[in-house]
Amino acid sequence: MAQKETVERILDAAEVLFAERGFAETSLRTITSAAGVNLAAVNYHFGSKKSLIQAVFVRFLDPLVDEIERQLNQLQAEKERLTVEDLLQVLTSSVYEIHGRGSNRATSFMRLLGLAYTQSQAHLRKFIGERYGNAFQHYASHLKPALPGATAADLFWHTHFALGTAIFTMSNFDALRAMSENDTGERTPVDFIVSRLTAFMAAGLHNAAHE
Amino acid sequence: MAQKETVERILDAAEVLFAERGFAETSLRTITSAAGVNLAAVNYHFGSKKSLIQAVFVRFLDPLVDEIERQLNQLQAEKERLTVEDLLQVLTSSVYEIHGRGSNRATSFMRLLGLAYTQSQAHLRKFIGERYGNAFQHYASHLKPALPGATAADLFWHTHFALGTAIFTMSNFDALRAMSENDTGERTPVDFIVSRLTAFMAAGLHNAAHE
DNA sequence: GTCTATAACGCGATAGAC
DNA sequence: GTCTATCGCGTTATAGAC
């Protein structure tokens, strides 16, 4: 019980701090002092900083991929062929379902996902690829029938274009919203941004089938 | 002459190494030893690591924004209203014009631009915003007449969606191409990716005007 | 203008007491 | 399981010789 509490406190603090600053820029000293635990606790419970980083990802990715899988199966039971819009909807509603609509954790999560791609943490990309590669392949396999004209190369590239759009937007979410507020004088609601984002991605993806 | 050579050697090495590993992960020791100069030379010529990072960006952004400006003016002399496709074409051909078609420097450049957004270097984003903000605004101002139905908020968000798509793709260019080669067994030509990318962005941007 | 040598510091990790 | 104390290393930056 005391153990579990310490582990959870470390994960909570690490998740927020990593999302704010990145991995290399967040020291174990910062994490442990924010969590109110001893510096040695991270190495005791997780073994290393790398393992801690991986544990942060497991804690939010495991439930998320389960939820995505669940929604995919449910939707497939209702209709035989899923549309691009269906598939994008599954992603957003899964994130909402797991982390709560508009919560800080949802944006933290997207920012971490962005960092996983862009920061040089080879161990992390390897780990994520090994643990979640199958789930990603399964999700991507639904895109093929949804975009009938597309070749395999089209699918690969357009999928990653869309992934990039989402990851970039979400991982710079706060900075972009601040810029937008500065430009237009209005604070854009999260739902507006998400719906525009998915529309942008859907338009780009559909473009794959038309060439 | 000896000085200029040292400065250039440092910039050359730093540009490549930053693009490969990121800023925090590249030490001055690595840069100076790759450049074949003394460790102290960076602090002597640039003052600090932060200033070196900024100098790397200035060296390739200054000529690029000049070239973009030149092409914009030239195109505007030929036709009164520029299309979205025109504007995207200006970007890609400017990069090609400055750094050479398919050169390593062009991909280095995009990767660095991606890092500028995603790595936590607040000083760099501030510096870029101050030095190139006007040029960005000028370029973006051409988008408004190209997308007649869009509101100011539409424009802001769709522009940054497209920017994100490009930055994410280019900054992960090598990794994505390796994945694609692994998937399909073929090495995708750069031109194919760039043309698909711009088509994806154009489709997403046009979508802004239709809602 | 460029070098060597080193200061001053923060980092991850661990040994050993409790 | 948690603590203190510390090791060993890598970092940026600088002082001073040449």
Assign 3-class secondary structure to B79-125. CCCCCHHHHHHHHHHHHHHHHCCCCHHHHHHHHHHHHHHHCCCHHHH
Residue A4 Cα, gap to closest chain B Cα (Å): 31
In CATH terms, the fold of domain A1-47 is: Arc Repressor Mutant, subunit A (1.10.10)
pTM of structure: 0.89
**Integer CA distances (angstroms), A106 to A101, A112, B168, in order:** 8, 10, 20
List pLDDT tens digits, range B157-171: 999 999 999 989 988
CA of B32 and C1' of D18: distance in angstroms?
Answer: 21
List pLDDT tens digits, range A89-120: 999 999 989 887 767 788 888 889 888 887 87
Is A179's CB less than 7 Å from nucleic acid strand D? no
Q: Which nucleotide is nearest to A27 (CA to C1')?
A: C11
Mean pLDDT confidence for A29-50:
96
Tokens at residue B29, please? 């020791």
Residue B165 Cα, gap to closest chain A Cα (Å): 4
- Which of A119, A196, A197 is closest, CB to CB, to B22? A119
Whether B209 contacts chain A with CB within 8 A? no
CA–CA separation, A135 and A138 (whole Å): 5
Q: How confident is the model at residue B1 (pLDDT cuts 50, 70, 90)?
A: very low
A57-208: CATH number: 1.10.357.10
CA of A107 and C1' of C16: distance in angstroms?
Answer: 42
Whether A163 contacts chain B with CB within 8 A? yes
- Show me where the domains of chain B are located: 1-47, 57-208
Residues 44-73 of chain B sitting with CB below 7 angstroms of strand D: 44, 48-50
Residues in Cβ contact with A208 at an 8 Å cutoff, skipping those fewer than 6 apart: A147, A149, A150, A154, A155, A158, B196, B200
- Which of A21, A125, A164 is closest, CB to CB, to B165? A164
The pLDDT of residue B200 is 97
3-state helix, strand, coil in chain A (%, to 5): 80, 0, 20
Mean pLDDT confidence for B96-104:
80
CA–CA separation, A71 and B100 (whole Å): 47
DSSP A174-201: HHHHHHHHHHHSS---HHHHHHHHHHHH
CA–CA separation, B159 and B201 (whole Å): 9
Whether B9 contacts chain A with CB within 8 A? no
Q: Which residues of chain B make contact with A177, given a CB cutoff of 8 A? A: none
Closest CA to B85 of B163, B143, B156, B136: B143
A211: pLDDT strictly greater than 60: no
Mean pLDDT confidence for B99-108:
78
End-to-end CA distance of chain A: 59
Three-state SS for A1-23 is: CHHHHHHHHHHHHHHHHHHHHCC
The pLDDT of residue A109 is 86
A2: pLDDT strictly greater than 60: no
Residue B5 Cα, gap to closest chain A Cα (Å): 30
3-state helix, strand, coil in chain B (%, to 5): 80, 0, 20
CA-nearest residue to A113 within chain B is B118
| Mean pLDDT score of chain A | 91
- Which of A25, A158, A169 is closest, CB to CB, to B161? A169
CA of B25 and C1' of D14: distance in angstroms?
Answer: 22
The size of the A-B interface in CB pairs under 8 A is: 135
Cβ <8 Å between B120 and A22: yes
Whether A157 contacts chain B with CB within 8 A? yes
Residue B59 Cα, gap to closest chain A Cα (Å): 23
